[in-house]
Chain A
Amino acid sequence: MPTLVSHPDEVKIISRRFGAGAADIEKYLELDGYKAVQMAIEKGAEWVINEMKISGLRGRGGAGFPTGLKWSFVPKQSEKPKYVLVNGDESEPGTCKDHVIFLHDPHSVIEGTMIAGLAIGAKMGFIYLRGEYRYLLKVVEKAVADAYAKGFLGKNIFGKEGVDFDIVTQTGAGAYEVGEESALMESLEGKRGVPRIKPPFPAVVGLYGGPTVINNAETIASAPHILLMGGEAYAKVGSERNGGTRLFGISGHVERPGVYELPMGYNLKKAIYEVAGGVKGGRKLKAVVPGGSSCPVLKADELDVGLDFDQMGKAGTMLGSGGIVVLDETVSIVEFALRTIKFYQHESCGWCIPCREGTDWLKKTLTRFYNGYGNKKDIANIQYLAENMMGRTFCPLGDAAAMPTLGFIKKFREEFEEYLEGHRTEKALITTEEMIGAAH
């Protein structure tokens, strides 16, 4: 069971029921549960979308698209049924925030799904968890069953004539790519998780060809809180154009790793040194991957930046999925880059050639380099490969592999060069033979 952490700087909105036993529906009701969805039924779709717009909530999966705006794109009239799809396929290395939401507050995801459904005029929602989260699927399945038993789901919910909503839950079976929204729809339709070409966007042609809103689980779970506290109050908690709070998972070389809820715009350096207790063992910090493994790395002197989409963008990286990975001075960037690329090579679905070939060649080149058979041209070649993947694929997986690679070379080029001269860290982390022996 994941340990819960706490820090005085946290602003607990989405995490306020964590540890309170709110997976139990009675406890959830006691803690203001299912009040927001009844407000939404009472006040109507336009009110909901307006509050969401005012709240400044931006997609917590990584893209940071304004949620209220996304919901407003769904056409009012549609011949085909509309759907809400909750993306709980959390797979970005460094990210485990949805894990704790499903575990501690599954009803908030259910209630958020219903609110999104009311806002866009959908009568059916899907909650899709990654395959590894089977024990969490059981938690969510029980919560859904309890909500049906109370008459909160099904026909005429909360006793309101003509207001129907159904939820189906399921898991994937192991595929990072399925976290991309169009691949997620393919997977839910029982196919290989390869991306669809856009446009049309899911808001117009989505699941089963119907207009579909796809939101990250944390985004969806934020909706009930926003309606309860009001969009304006929620917006004020965060920074400019970045409403509210967010769950940040701080992992790697820190004293107190964990999932913390901090206001948007909170200082990254403070998050590492104060909230997470600083670098483990009092060692020096070398680098930070600030928002999951696809975000370009930051050096130790670049951490005085606010954790929101815009400030991180200005700093040349991304807020991503909120997974902050801290590397101490003992880590070899060459080794870390290789492990990062090994992941993307494994997860590329093979649909787009620049990604399929690009990740494979990056892995081969980095493996050879790592094993001491590299030469100076490789550094330029790695850069060339990554640059040619950028923006040339159907989905962002190609970019997700290229961006961190370019970041490692740009920020730590001298380390790659010194590596060629035989400089190594004291202790290698990777010991798998297939990685060490392969590709030269």
Chain B
Amino acid sequence: MSAVTNTIFSPELAARFDKLVTLYPVKRSALIPMLLYAQDEVGYVSDAVVHEIAQRLDLFELDVRNVLSYYSMLRTKPAGKYNVQVCTNISCMLRGGYEILDHCKAKLGIGHKEVTADKLFSLEEVECIGACCWAPAMQVNYDFHEDLTPAKVDQILDDYAAGRGKDVK
């Protein structure tokens, strides 16, 4: 039985949240992980997500929104099923990061922070993702793809489109 009646989350996630708030000396510490896991399940941080998380942590919705607006991985609008995040920071830039970004734009027909019409893909230019020695690199949702070439990107995106891509959550 979840700590919140009428939870908007799946029973598994609700149970996970019930446990998460007990791990820390202060309940509020669970806020950022909760926002991430809720986003993973719902697709974005909706008003309903904000409302329930605030309720679970005894916070004002404003507190939750304040934190939500700070972190770049949290979003308040739906992304594609597969969110393609191309790094163009220095190490990736030197090895063709912008070429990879342009290739993704052309292939998917969308720009930065846009979603394809079939809602399968979205695209983002992101800052350093910590894969500098395997540049250029990108993430599709949480999965890393390294040492990219345009041909390799084609293969990766085709795999996701065909439902063959790995999806770390």
Whether B127 contacts A251 by the Cβ 8 Å rule is: no
Whether B71 contacts A173 by the Cβ 8 Å rule is: yes
Minimum distance in angstroms from A294 CB to a CB of chain B: 11
A134 within 8 A of B: yes
Whether B168 contacts A429 by the Cβ 8 Å rule is: no
B81 within 8 A of A: no
**With A and B bound together, what is the CA distance between A325 and B128 in angstroms?**
13
Given contacts A189-B29, A429-B98, A176 and B127 within 8 Å (CB-CB): yes
When the two chains form the complex, which single residue of B29, B72, B99, B130 contacts A190, counting CB atoms closer than 8 Å? Answer: B29
Residues of A contacting B30 with CB < 8 Å? Answer: 190
A200 within 8 A of B: no
| Chain A 329-350 near chain B by CB (<8 Å), digits 1 or 0 | 0010000100110010011010
When the two chains form the complex, which single residue of B73, B91, B134 contacts A252, counting CB atoms closer than 8 Å? Answer: B91
Whether B127 contacts A190 by the Cβ 8 Å rule is: no
**With A and B bound together, what is the CA distance between A189 and B33 in angstroms?**
11
Residues of B contacting A253 with CB < 8 Å? Answer: 94-95
A171 within 8 A of B: yes
Looking at the complex, which of B10-18, B142-150, B153-161 is the stretch in contact with chain A? Answer: B142-150
Whether B74 contacts A135 by the Cβ 8 Å rule is: no
Residues of B contacting A187 with CB < 8 Å? Answer: 32
Whether A343 contacts B94 by the Cβ 8 Å rule is: no
**With A and B bound together, what is the CA distance between A189 and B90 in angstroms?**
31
B132 within 8 A of A: yes
B101 within 8 A of A: yes
Whether B98 contacts A93 by the Cβ 8 Å rule is: no
Q: A335 — nearest CB in chain B belongs to which residue?
A: B93
Whether A135 contacts B168 by the Cβ 8 Å rule is: yes
Whether A190 contacts B90 by the Cβ 8 Å rule is: no
Residues of B contacting A244 with CB < 8 Å? Answer: none
Whether A91 contacts B90 by the Cβ 8 Å rule is: no
Whether B127 contacts A346 by the Cβ 8 Å rule is: yes
**With A and B bound together, what is the CA distance between A251 and B27 in angstroms?**
41
Whether A135 contacts B142 by the Cβ 8 Å rule is: yes
Looking at the complex, which of A310-318, A379-387, A430-438 is the stretch in contact with chain B? Answer: A430-438
Whether A132 contacts B73 by the Cβ 8 Å rule is: yes
**With A and B bound together, what is the CA distance between A423 and B24 in angstroms?**
57
**With A and B bound together, what is the CA distance between A131 and B28 in angstroms?**
18
| Chain A 262-302 near chain B by CB (<8 Å), digits 1 or 0 | 00000000000000000000000000010001000000000
Residues of A contacting B147 with CB < 8 Å? Answer: 3
**With A and B bound together, what is the CA distance between A132 and B74 in angstroms?**
11
Given contacts A189-B26, A191-B67, A430-B98, A135 and B143 within 8 Å (CB-CB): yes
**With A and B bound together, what is the CA distance between A405 and B134 in angstroms?**
26
| Chain B 58-71 near chain A by CB (<8 Å), digits 1 or 0 | 00000000110011
A130 within 8 A of B: yes
Minimum distance in angstroms from B6 CB to a CB of chain A: 24
Number of chain A residues whose Cβ lies closer than 8 Å to a Cβ of chain B: 63
**With A and B bound together, what is the CA distance between A147 and B48 in angstroms?**
37
B84 within 8 A of A: no
**With A and B bound together, what is the CA distance between A359 and B31 in angstroms?**
29
Whether B169 contacts A343 by the Cβ 8 Å rule is: no
Interface centre among A189, A208, A347 (most CB of B within 10 A): A189
When the two chains form the complex, which single residue of B70, B90, B139 contacts A193, counting CB atoms closer than 8 Å? Answer: B70
Interface centre among A249, A258, A343, A429 (most CB of B within 10 A): A429
Residues of B contacting A252 with CB < 8 Å? Answer: 90-91, 94-95, 135
Minimum distance in angstroms from B31 CB to a CB of chain A: 4
Residues of A contacting B144 with CB < 8 Å? Answer: 1-2, 135
Residues of B contacting A170 with CB < 8 Å? Answer: 32-33
Whether A94 contacts B131 by the Cβ 8 Å rule is: no
**With A and B bound together, what is the CA distance between A99 and B132 in angstroms?**
10
Interface centre among B67, B93, B98, B125 (most CB of A within 10 A): B93
Residues of B contacting A251 with CB < 8 Å? Answer: 91, 94, 132-133, 135
Whether B89 contacts A93 by the Cβ 8 Å rule is: yes
B115 within 8 A of A: no
Residues of B contacting A339 with CB < 8 Å? Answer: 88-90, 93
Whether A173 contacts B24 by the Cβ 8 Å rule is: no
Whether B93 contacts A96 by the Cβ 8 Å rule is: no
When the two chains form the complex, which single residue of B23, B24, B73 contacts A174, counting CB atoms closer than 8 Å? Answer: B73
Whether A343 contacts B89 by the Cβ 8 Å rule is: yes
> Which residues from 180 to 209 on chain A have a C-beta closer than 8 Å to any C-beta of chain B?
187-193, 208
Whether B89 contacts A175 by the Cβ 8 Å rule is: no
Whether A2 contacts B134 by the Cβ 8 Å rule is: yes
B163 within 8 A of A: no
**With A and B bound together, what is the CA distance between A331 and B168 in angstroms?**
36
**With A and B bound together, what is the CA distance between A331 and B95 in angstroms?**
11
**With A and B bound together, what is the CA distance between A130 and B143 in angstroms?**
14
A172 within 8 A of B: yes
Minimum-distance CB pairs A-B, first 9: A174-B73, A190-B31, A173-B71, A174-B72, A190-B28, A134-B142, A251-B91, A93-B128, A192-B70
Task: Taking A96-B134, A431-B102 as given, write out 19 further A-B residue pairs in contact, using a Cβ cutoff of 8 Å, ordered by the A residue number.
Answer: A2-B133, A3-B146, A91-B127, A91-B130, A94-B90, A131-B71, A132-B139, A135-B142, A135-B144, A168-B23, A170-B32, A170-B33, A173-B72, A173-B74, A174-B71, A189-B29, A249-B132, A251-B91, A257-B132
| Interface set of A (CB-CB < 8 Å, partner B) | 1-3, 81, 90-96, 98-99, 124, 130-135, 138, 168, 170-176, 187-193, 208, 249-253, 257-259, 289, 293, 323, 325, 327, 331, 336, 339-340, 343, 346-347, 349, 429-432, 434
| Interface set of B (CB-CB < 8 Å, partner A) | 23-26, 28-33, 35-36, 57, 66-67, 70-74, 88-91, 93-95, 98-99, 101-102, 112, 125, 127-135, 139, 142-144, 146-147, 168-169
